[in-house]
Structure 1
Amino acid sequence: MSVVLTAPRVGKECIFSASPIARRLRRTFTTQIPLLWSPPFKKLQPSDFSKQPPRKLRPPPPSQRSAEGGRPPSKRRGGEDTPRVTEWHTVTKPTEKQLRGLQNYLQQFSNSQYIRSKCLGMGVTADIYEPGMKAFITALMNNEIEGLSVGDAVAHLLAKSRADRFLLPSYYKYVTAKYPEETETLRSLMSFSDLTEPAEWHKETRRMQRKIILHLGPTNSGKTYAALKRLEECDAGIYCGPLRLLAHEVYERLNAKGVPCNLLTGEERRESDGVNKYAATVEMAPLNKRFEVAVLDEIQMIGDEGRGWAWTQGLLGLQADEIHLCGEPTIVPLVRAMMKDTADTIEIRRYERLTKLAVAETGLGGQLQKLKRGDCIATFSRQNIFALKRAIEEKTSLRAAVIYGSLPPETRTEQAKQFNDPNGPYDVLVASDAIGMGLNLNIGRMIFERVEKWNGKETKVLSISQVKQIAGRAGRFGTEFETGVVCTLDDYDMRTMKRLLNSQAPSILSAGLFPSLEQIEVFSQYLPGEPLSALLERFQDLANLDGRYFLCNLDSQRVIAEFIEDIPLTLRDRYTFILAPFNLQDPASAAQMRRFATAQSGGLECLMEDSVVLGDHPPQTIDQLKDLEAQHRLIILYMWLSQRFPETFTDLDNALYLKRKCEDLIDRGLANLKFERKRKITGAAKHALKLQKKAERLARLAGTTEKAETSETVVEVPPVQEEVQQKQPVEKEAPAEVLVQEKY
């Protein structure tokens, strides 16, 4: 996305984007061009309450800017470390201007049809909405609202918080206290959406005296290894990881050592009689089993907006004598606060990195020719990954492996294995942040292609944790690269990289929660006829939380619920479908999702072969590879549903066969996807090639492939000769062939 800024001194417009050239221009001109910003209390439309407007930051005064035009180094910059770390602080004494702005904002909040419709849907009748809202605004301006001061309200507005997230809950509490008889339904719904004591949801676990052991340290410090050693020694235990790939790795490692272990993921179960150890994804952790040891890996993900609830559920609900938490030190204050409610004991073990990690003085200057074997370039889009792979293989003699999130976990493991092998086919690795966890890689130097990432809404600087997690993959203990090096592809990103690596990540402030099926069923009884998407929205509006917990983002679940709303399903089945691993952005997958839901609704048997048909040849282009990845995701969705609805999705054996076949085709496609190094064309050969391309273009327009007819003449295509720059001279009588490469 480009931003147009007016430059008063030069009288022109400058377009700033995320491209390298534009970033250089931005750093050149920011000291001369003041950024335009709007006051925090602009006039809002009713539609503004339904979505959060983008935040605009006022630039620092010129005296506080660095020599490059940016802000001075700060330990708090570099993007949000977790979705729950906010950047606003309570305004202790608002100014007169801020109070006037708040008054205007509250008036628009009161007049908003969006807010009015929400309140009417909650049982606040029209005859009490107006007087209740007027009294609420007066009480808020007089600092008489419990839990929301005037300073807090101003701070929320400065941070561009959504009005229905910080004002509506306070209004509901106020209006139910002022009109208790008229708001009986609302009071009942508020009581069922009380999430202030999630520890009490697990009664059996609260009867236990557990020991919480925190293994804290950076990447490549051996913290997870120490926890898994304890898992090997016990009689009954479970490993809970964030990725199916990690669960498979632990499952295979334990069984290879002669320690029987079961596998439990959303798509697959491998269980044997008499085996009491499990390797599972964190969402699949069984809370009704007793264990001696439980390992919760990557515990800092408890603050993730989408999946944090699974780590909260595991930490509060697992029935294990010892719970080993592996992750970053940023989690300590939150775990201590949560364990006060459970009365569990805490032990902290800290680990240091086993190998050295050095930061280079400069980047590569944008020159891929400086790459060497063992390097890894981190970039953050699938398109960039293949563009870099092409550029590396065309400009150097190196072969590049690729790893990114949409690849099947098995394919990622195979690519990592071939990259790690000194005699393997790959010399360097191009990867996304998917390498941040779950893969053992022999990386000597980690190179960041950029230090920004698109988060689905905007391009933001990488967080401190993201940078440290990825950078820490360089230098692996026990390999030839025991000393890791970190740098950037472009020199101008090195300053940001050094600042992020030298900064301390902020502590994780709260843990995620998710509404249970039982809570949604209670809501449906009080709000009969409301679809599931509306029930989720109502629950989100009424959820009562304390400072240690937050409600996970329900937007994707609401979208899926709306997508299958017209299909007659029970509430329980509909709730299961919205939790499925499914992305509506893929049209083919969306059509199959409706087909799956329709089959479950009608009690019809759904076969895998009706949804996925695979050929026998590996993909030849990047687009074909992308289609095959989509087919693999569809197979995984079918397997996931077969674990929940075995009577409908009965073709599990065929799905497993197609899954392995699809992964084999993807592996073969990546192995064949190579780009030849370009030979430089100069002189007469370059001119002849231009003539050939022009003639071919004219020929296509004329409808013939051999000659292009004009109104008077026929242009014959001359034979093309090429001059190739080599150390040995090329004989003129034997012109080199022009290499025409297929565009993948």
Structure 2
Amino acid sequence: LHLNHLVARSAAMGHAGQLASLLPRLQAECSVPMPYEDLKAALTRAQDRWEQQVEEQDTLASLGRELAFQGYPDSFDAARKLGRKVMLYLGPPNSGKTHAAFERLTQALDGAYLAPLRLLALEGRDRLVGRGVPCSLLTGEENVPASNARVVSSTIEMVNTRDVVDVAVIDEAQMIFDDSRGWAWTQAIVGVPARELIIIGSAYAAPAIERLLQLCGEKPERRVFERKQHVQLMPAPVPMTHLHSGDAVVAFSRRDVLMLRDQIAQNGHAVSVIYGALPPEVRRREAERFAVGASDVLVATDAIGMGLNLPIRRVLFSTLTKFDGVGDRELSVSEVHQIAGRAGRYGMHDEGFVSVLKEADADAMKILRELLPKEPRAPRDFKAPVAPNWRHVDTISRRLGVNKLHDVLNVFMQQLKLDDAHFAVAELEQMLGLAEMLDRNAGSLPLQERFRYAQAPVDDRLPQVVEQFQAWAASHARTGKAGTPWFLDDVDEHSRLDRMEQALRQCTLWLWLDLRFPGVFGHVEAVIDLRSRLNDGIERHLKGKKPLWQRRGR
């Protein structure tokens, strides 16, 4: 009778295809001798576990259908209703494509410029204001509205997918191939509601972008730009003692940039430096020093490969390998083209040259000769990366009854059978790590607020920054306030270079959080004042005569 009852329960669930997985469970319980009442209880528990598993699989399958990436483009209602005109502006660095896009933006009734970096959002704003177009600035850490603004210049993660504009420009679209940030280009390309959308990028990215737009029912037009001058490979490496005004030496770590800066300065050159840890304001000042001739040699990381308009005549690689967070690897063809393309900027130098330093690795010139003639290619079997948004998180949480952010993200990444023909889940390792920390230390915050925190620009290579972030979130959960920004008293403009750089990361993080949690963080004027003083202090270090590379910090 009891077995008949269990059979009836199974049939009532309507999952005939799943019954095969129930039988072994029941057989396992029957294989051990036990009293009849205990056996009934054991069989019932086995049935309960099977039914729970079937229900969970049902829910996951239903969630997979509801959140499937096939429908991702259709989740951006405003963009889909417009019937957008889409233009691809394609070409190598220094081909005039960005100039042409800004010309169109200046004529727009209203618009948006979406930049890959805060530095380029600042430059975009200044460029438009210089043309008499009132322009607001919106980045992860600041919202600077302009009176009667016609255009918003923003970082791409800050894209507005609700309000319709006349013209939108997405810059450096080949960044869609970036493992950690490519999702932001997927989101913007699919979701920005502009009557006319201009997408700027390298030609090798065009097929992937066109496929993505076809999923939106859109067929873009191509406008191809040719480089005004070609970069010439020099016949031999250049000794460090033979550097000239207008040379840019490229390295791939802060330590190497500062070491080269000191060595080149010893030969009598005034040197500007640009590397990733420098704040945009300082990078701009260093670039301006080089542009106006206050310094004659530039030493930089591949940060110069994106957007900065500099009067470089020769690009000289100090190495053709870089550390990518996992290990040292050879530069890709696209990286070499992007960096070498900064030589011979139109209107600044008639010719552009590229080579390596004589002091570089023995095989550096050979590698450069091999890579430079090749055409960059998109990654094989590329799928556009998608990061979870609040709709994904909220739906999974409600349907599965899960409130831990880490568990929700894990379901999104591991368990949902989403469309994998065209889209892939973005790299979320850092977000998962932060989610686990937030669930543990700030679990009383609503899920939506924890999700917002998990998207913060936390540099997880710096334990002190991670520790402070954790303390702010915990204090927010406990008291409704983040507390005091301790770094205000820890460092000033006379501190060591590496300490000032770290404090600037803390300033950036604090301002990012304040923008998203009004009334929780505060102290904005004091943080902005410290940021300004630290920028001045770093600039003094870089312009000074003292060697910098022996100092602590990489």
TM-score by shorter chain over 0.5: yes
Mapped partners of 2:22, 2:522: distance in 1: 52
Matching residue within 400, 403, 420 for 1:546: 420
Mapped partners of 2:531, 2:287: distance in 1: 20
Give the stretch that moved more between structures: 462-471 or 336-345. Answer: 336-345
The equivalent residue for 1:576 is 452
The equivalent residue for 1:346 is 220
Mapped partners of 1:317, 1:130: distance in 2: 48
The equivalent residue for 2:292 is 421
Contact 2:179 2:427 in 1 (8 A): yes
Mapped partners of 2:343, 2:484: distance in 1: 41
Give the stretch that moved more between structures: 187-196 or 311-320. Answer: 187-196
The equivalent residue for 1:478 is 347
Q: 1:652 to 1:335 in 2, by over 3 A?
A: same
Q: 1:617 to 1:549 in 2, by over 3 A?
A: closer
Contact 1:608 1:654 in 2 (8 A): no
The equivalent residue for 1:695 is none
Asked whether 1:487 is paired with 2:361, we answer no
Matching residue within 388, 402, 409 for 1:536: 409
Asked whether 1:411 is paired with 2:287, we answer no
Matching residue within 270, 274, 280 for 1:399: 270
Mapped partners of 2:350, 2:185: distance in 1: 32
Asked whether 1:514 is paired with 2:387, we answer yes
Give runs of aligned pairs for residues 249-648 of structure 1, distance below 5 A. 249-364=123-238, 367-394=239-266, 396-422=267-293, 424=294, 426-479=295-348, 481-489=349-357, 490=360, 492-507=363-378, 509-529=382-402, 531-541=404-414, 542-567=416-441, 568=443, 569-606=445-482, 609-613=485-489, 617-619=493-495, 624-648=496-520
Mapped partners of 2:202, 2:551: distance in 1: 43
The equivalent residue for 1:42 is none
Contact 1:436 1:469 in 2 (8 A): yes
The one-character-per-residue Cα deviations of 1:490-547 (angstroms, maximum 9, x if unpaired) are 4632221122111111135332111112211222234445632232122111241233
Compute the displacement of 1:631 (Å). Answer: 0.4
TM-score (norm 1): 0.64
Compute the displacement of 1:389 (Å). Answer: 1.8
Contact 1:618 1:668 in 2 (8 A): no
Mapped partners of 2:219, 2:550: distance in 1: 62
Amino acid in structure 2 at the alignment position of 1:362: A
Contact 1:334 1:548 in 2 (8 A): no
Mapped partners of 1:376, 1:216: distance in 2: 25
The equivalent residue for 2:59 is 185
Mapped partners of 1:321, 1:369: distance in 2: 54
The equivalent residue for 2:15 is none
Describe the SS at the equivalent of 2:440. Answer: coil
Name structure 1 gaps, 5 residues minimum. Answer: 1-124, 133-175, 677-740
Mapped partners of 1:467, 1:314: distance in 2: 26
Describe the SS at the equivalent of 2:215. Answer: helix
Amino acid in structure 1 at the alignment position of 2:396: F
Compute the displacement of 1:129 (Å). Answer: 9.7
Give aligned pairs, total.
502
Compute the displacement of 1:616 (Å). Answer: 5.5
Give the stretch that moved more between structures: 337-346 or 381-390. Answer: 337-346
Describe the SS at the equivalent of 1:352. Answer: coil
Amino acid in structure 2 at the alignment position of 1:640: W
The one-character-per-residue Cα deviations of 1:348-383 (angstroms, maximum 9, x if unpaired) are 11111122310011213xx32122222111111111
Amino acid in structure 1 at the alignment position of 2:520: T
Contact 1:195 1:543 in 2 (8 A): no
The alignment's C-alpha RMSD in Å is: 2.6
Mapped partners of 2:409, 2:454: distance in 1: 11
Compute the displacement of 1:629 (Å). Answer: 0.5
Q: 1:372 to 1:343 in 2, by over 3 A?
A: same
Compute the displacement of 1:577 (Å). Answer: 0.8
Mapped partners of 2:244, 2:23: distance in 1: 70
Give the stretch that moved more between structures: 532-541 or 520-529. Answer: 520-529
The one-character-per-residue Cα deviations of 1:436-487 (angstroms, maximum 9, x if unpaired) are 11312111111111111111112111111111000111111122x3311101
Mapped partners of 1:128, 1:399: distance in 2: 74
Describe the SS at the equivalent of 1:330. Answer: helix
TM-score (norm 2): 0.85
Amino acid in structure 1 at the alignment position of 2:206: V
Mapped partners of 1:612, 1:660: distance in 2: 12
Amino acid in structure 2 at the alignment position of 1:372: H
Mapped partners of 1:675, 1:525: distance in 2: 58
Describe the SS at the equivalent of 1:612. Answer: helix
Contact 1:603 1:648 in 2 (8 A): no
Contact 2:334 2:377 in 1 (8 A): no
Name structure 2 gaps, 5 residues minimum. Answer: 1-17, 26-49
Compute the displacement of 1:427 (Å). Answer: 2.2
Amino acid in structure 2 at the alignment position of 1:466: E
Instruction: State the identity as a percent.
Output: 33
The one-character-per-residue Cα deviations of 1:374-405 (angstroms, maximum 9, x if unpaired) are 211111111111122222233x2223221100
Give the stretch that moved more between structures: 304-313 or 288-297. Answer: 304-313
Compute the displacement of 1:217 (Å). Answer: 0.6
Larger Cα Rg: Structure 1 or Structure 2?
A: 1
Q: 1:349 to 1:617 in 2, by over 3 A?
A: closer
Mapped partners of 1:427, 1:538: distance in 2: 54
Compute the displacement of 1:411 (Å). Answer: 0.4
Compute the displacement of 1:186 (Å). Answer: 3.3
Compute the displacement of 1:593 (Å). Answer: 0.3
The one-character-per-residue Cα deviations of 1:697-728 (angstroms, maximum 9, x if unpaired) are xxxxxxxxxxxxxxxxxxxxxxxxxxxxxxxx
Mapped partners of 2:19, 2:144: distance in 1: 57
The equivalent residue for 1:649 is 521
Q: 1:584 to 1:126 in 2, by over 3 A?
A: farther
Mapped partners of 1:299, 1:357: distance in 2: 22
Describe the SS at the equivalent of 1:354. Answer: coil
Higher normalized helix content (fraction of residues): 2
